[in-house]
Chains A and B, each alone.
Chain A
Amino acid sequence: GNSVTQMEGPVTLSEEAFLTINCTYTATGYPSLFWYVQYPGEGLQLLLKATKADDKGSNKGFEATYRKETTSFHLEKGSVQVSDSAVYFCALRDNQGGKLIFGQGTELSVKP
């Protein structure tokens, strides 16, 4: 069945460091891919998405490219800020019914 695997956390970085959170998936067909973020005390928010191979999703300085050949959707940001501290979830959308399949989440802590 469909599944998502993302790097385990927690990840601790200094402000302005480069961030990569790896995400790989297993799926039949060509699902849409997402990154969701949960800031402390808040609900899940969509950070970015990509709906087909080679698409690049971007938002708030974060980017991820849909790589069909490596079945990956790694999240990157060139310079993280303290306000980026949150839990990040990679997900794919099932082509039937639209349910989301999530990875286990990666907690990011950015220190000043």
Chain B
Amino acid sequence: EAGVTQFPSHSVIEKGQTVTLRCDPISGHDNLYWYRRVMGKEIKFLLHFVKESKQDESGMPNNRFLAERTGGTYSTLKVQPAELEDSGVYFCASSQVSHNTEAFFGQGTRLTVV
């Protein structure tokens, strides 16, 4: 069974450009989470989808970040326009049931804004 897959693995963009990260969860997992780790600090929650609905987006830093999960399958996280402080590693995770089952993580996308 395929795990959680994230694309791209690395991205280097200039300040002001747009970048779109993609996450393919494990098939059948309704719950999808985005997290971010900035410069060796803690991994911070960004948002949570249940199927195609945003369950909790309290961690989204500002309106330059837009997450979608059309059809309840894969998800995208767009940053527009990117700023230097957006650099970090973006992780995606999926789970079957939010409370009681393990969340499986992807390898992450390392975003560098220069």
* Bound-state Cα–Cα, A77 to B93, Å: 27
* Bound-state Cα–Cα, A46 to B105, Å: 9
Known A42-B107, A102-B43; contact A97-B55, beta-carbon cutoff 8 A:
yes
> Using an 8 Å CB-CB cutoff, how does the interface string of A74-112 with B read, 1 for contact, 0 for none?
000000000000000101010101111111110000000
A43 at the interface (CB under 8 A from B): yes
Identify which of A4, A89, A93, A98 gathers the most chain B CB atoms within 10 Å of its CB. A98
Contact: A100 with B103, CB < 8 Å? yes
A contact face: mostly helix, strand, loop, or mixed: strand
Q: Residue B91 contacts which of A44, A98, A99, A105 (CB distance < 8 angstroms)?
A: A44
A26 at the interface (CB under 8 A from B): no
* Count of interface residues, chain A, beta-carbon cutoff 8 Å: 22
> Using an 8 Å CB-CB cutoff, how does the interface string of B28-53 with A read, 1 for contact, 0 for none?
00010101010011111100100000
Collect the chain A residues with CB atoms within 8 Å of residue B35's CB: 100, 102
Could you list 29 examples of A-B contacts with CB < 8 Å? A4-B42, A42-B107, A43-B106, A44-B43, A44-B91, A44-B105, A44-B108, A45-B105, A46-B103, A89-B42, A91-B43, A93-B99, A95-B99, A97-B48, A97-B56, A97-B98, A98-B31, A98-B33, A98-B95, A98-B97, A99-B48, A100-B35, A100-B43, A100-B93, A102-B35, A102-B43, A104-B40, A104-B41, A104-B42
Which residues of A are at the interface with B, using a C-beta cutoff of 8 A?
A: 4, 36, 41-46, 49, 89, 91, 93, 95, 97-105
**When A and B form their complex, which 9 residue pairs have the shortest distance between CB atoms, in order from nearest?**
A98-B98, A43-B107, A44-B105, A102-B43, A104-B42, A99-B45, A43-B105, A102-B42, A97-B56
